[in-house]
Amino acid sequence: MHADGDGISDMTDSHTHSHPHSHLPDDPVLRVKALETLLVQKGLVDPTAVQAIIDTYENKVGPQNGARVVAKMWLDEGFQAAMLDDPMPKLQELGYYGRQGEHMVFVENTPEFHNVVVCTLCSCYPWPLLGIPPGWYKSDAYRARVVREPRKVLSEFGLMLPEDTKIRVWDSTAEIRYLVVPERPAGTDGWDEDALAGLVTRDAMIGTGLVQRPTT
Amino acid sequence: MSRVHDMGGRFGDGPITPEDEAVFEKDWHGHALALNLASGALGQWNIDMSRHARECLSPKDYSRFSYYEKWMAGLADLLVEKGLVSEVELETATASGPYALAERQLKGERVAAVLSSGGPSLRENTELPRFNPGQAVQTRTLARNEYVEGGHTRLPAYAAGKTGHVVLCHGAHVLPDTNAHGLGENPEPLYAVAFPAQSLWGDAAAEGDEVILDIWQSYLSPA
């Protein structure tokens, strides 16, 4: 145990007094193993639940869900209007509801405004629609920089916006989760939902990418 | 005043490498996430407490730990703080105490139902919204918790003492500043507030760009 020396004395803020995690092994692989072994031994965690959670986010829930919603919005004006007004009833109907997606807001890109989403304080992200966030979304560099210099950050993704496009950076500081609705690319008239959904990338729904029609 | 997690606007981080990696880059990442969710389902803490546990890591640990190492450390600290495991058990990776709460264990077959039922933070409002869309508002001068010294808050330092305007009213949501410390949910109106990027970062930011944050009513005053 060690004091972290930040001088805070309030007794209710007990995290600041000691860091029990320092008892665990240094190697993260062993650290996770030690904790899992202990929690299973104590009957606090069911190993089949651990596998079920991993399987959910590896195989079942991911950006294909968000892509489906975006494609529907492009195709159906009524659905689009409902999603922009209050998306939760429709998302519940579609089965795209759950942990970290309880309060969704969809923000649309236009020629005038480009939206991009971050969580500077941690890594808040709309899990039921996009799955688990990619490494870069959780990185210090993205969290620290995209609010201050979005154009430079977007250029690192290969995204160069016209100078007269205004950028709106959404910092997810509460339980509201934002999803960017990219612009539908030209030349996709008559495409069906599956084909359109196939174009919508995870990055386009975070705002670090655009949706492009394949050139081949 | 601030803690290490509050890094919005910080200088010094390098370029971003947008690699398209696997959902769980390493096997233990998935386990770290799953252990957090399965332990959370025991109902001994809320999401604000788990966020606070991670941000209470020492700046040295916070910086050197990878993402899921922070989750593991926060979880270990919470398990001990709430009395679910002892420090000796952590050190020996061997259970010695009573199997408290084992009856609340999240069973594998319940995982899908629990994940898809979520944990909404919207509450029936008891406090009326003081602000309307379009209205100018100012954030509190310091990004600090008003209840607990050094406590949890969701106002980033870069947006403290700034003037913006309300763009959305989200209804009343649980207040993290109290909920993280067992002081009750105290739901209050939550707003999306837009700030001109230049008001946050000066002339280096582009005119017309905005940063929009979700901000609780008690963090705001009329501007």
DSSP A51-114: HHHHHIIIIISSHHHHHHHHHHHHH-HHHHHHHHH--HHHHHHHT---TT-SEEEEEE--SSEE
Give CA–CA dist A212/A187, Å, rounded: 10
Quick check: A71 and A193 in contact, CB under 8 A?
Answer: yes
Cβ within 8 Å of B, A 64-93 = none
Residue corresponding to tokens 């003081």: B130
Quick check: B76 and B84 in contact, CB under 8 A?
Answer: no
pLDDT of residue A24: 84
Give CA–CA dist B31/B72, Å, rounded: 10
Last residue of a domain, one of B93, B117, B141: B117
pLDDT of residue A216: 60
Quick check: B123 and B185 in contact, CB under 8 A?
Answer: yes
Q: Is residue B21 part of a domain?
A: no
* CATH code of the domain covering residue B108: 1.10.472.20
Residue A119 annotated in ligand binding: yes
Chain A residues touching B204 at Cβ < 8 A: 148-149
Same domain, B137 and B67: no
Residue of chain B whose Cα is closest to the Cα of A95: B116
Same domain, B137 and B217: yes
Q: ipTM score here?
A: 0.96
Residue A9 annotated in ligand binding: no
Chain B residues touching A6 at Cβ < 8 A: 58, 150
Q: Does A206 touch chain B (CB under 8 A)?
A: no
Give CA–CA dist B99/A139, Å, rounded: 37
Average pLDDT in chain B: 94
pLDDT score of B177 more than 60: yes
The string of pLDDT tens digits covering residues A26-69 is: 899 999 999 999 999 999 999 999 999 999 999 999 999 999 99
pLDDT score of B46 more than 50: yes
Same domain, B109 and B155: no
pLDDT score of B2 more than 80: no
Q: What is the 3-state secondary structure (H, E, C) of B151-216?
A: CCCCCCHHHCCCEEEEEEEEEEECCHHHHCCCCCCCCEEEEEEEEEHHHHHHHHCCCCCEEEEEEE
Residue of chain B whose Cα is closest to the Cα of A48: B108
Last residue of a domain, one of B117, B143, B168: B117
pLDDT of residue A23: 85
The string of pLDDT tens digits covering residues B97-121 is: 777 788 899 999 999 999 999 999 9
Is residue A139 flagged as an active site residue? Answer: no
Q: Is residue B195 part of a domain?
A: yes
The string of pLDDT tens digits covering residues B128-167 is: 899 999 999 999 999 999 999 999 999 999 999 999 999 9
Residue B205: left (phi > 0), alpha (psi -120 to 50), or beta?
beta
Written as tens digits, the pLDDT of chain A (216 aa) is 333 434 343 444 444 446 888 888 889 999 999 999 999 999 999 999 999 999 999 999 999 999 999 999 999 999 999 999 999 999 999 999 999 999 999 999 999 999 999 999 999 999 999 999 999 999 999 999 999 999 999 999 999 999 999 999 999 999 999 999 999 999 999 999 999 999 999 999 999 999 998 876
Same domain, B58 and B141: no
Q: Is residue B56 part of a domain?
A: yes
What domains can be seen in chain A, in order of their start residue?
A: 62-206 (3.90.330.10)
Same domain, B139 and B71: no
Segments forming the whole domain that contains residue B140: 122-222
The string of pLDDT tens digits covering residues B74-90 is: 999 999 999 999 999 99
Query: How many angstroms separate the CA of residue B141 from the nearest CA in chain A?
Result: 17
Same domain, B102 and B132: no
Same domain, B130 and B204: yes
**Type and span of the H or E element at A118:** strand A113-118
Q: Reduced to 3 states, what is the DSSP secondary structure of residue B63?
A: helix
Instruction: List the structure tokens of A169.
Output: 């950076």
Same domain, B145 and B103: no
Do A147 and B30 count as a contact with CB atoms less than 8 A apart? no
Same domain, B195 and B131: yes
Chain A residues touching B9 at Cβ < 8 A: 120, 144, 147-148
As a residue count, chain A comes to: 216
Is residue A124 flagged as an active site residue? Answer: yes
Same domain, B113 and B33: yes
| B6, B120, B168: residue with CB nearest A121 | B6
pLDDT of residue A13: 44
Instruction: List the structure tokens of A8.
Output: 């805070």
Give CA–CA dist B141/B110, Å, rounded: 45
Same domain, B157 and B204: yes
Last residue of a domain, one of B58, B87, B117: B117
pLDDT of residue B1: 60
Closest among B62, B7, B66, B104 to A32, alpha carbons compared: B66
Give CA–CA dist B82/B100, Å, rounded: 11
pLDDT of residue B122: 95
Report the number of distinct structural domains present in chain B: 2
Same domain, B50 and B134: no
Give CA–CA dist B202/B196, Å, rounded: 10
Quick check: A136 and B65 in contact, CB under 8 A?
Answer: no
Cβ within 8 Å of B, A 119-178 = 120-123, 128, 131-132, 134-136, 138-145, 147-151, 153, 156-157, 163, 166-176
pLDDT of residue A18: 67
Chain A residues touching B26 at Cβ < 8 A: 29
State how far the alpha carbon of A190 is from the alpha carbons of A18, A67, A74, A186, in Å: 61, 17, 11, 11
pLDDT of residue B24: 94
Is residue A22 flagged as an active site residue? Answer: no
Q: Reduced to 3 states, what is the DSSP secondary structure of residue A131?
A: coil
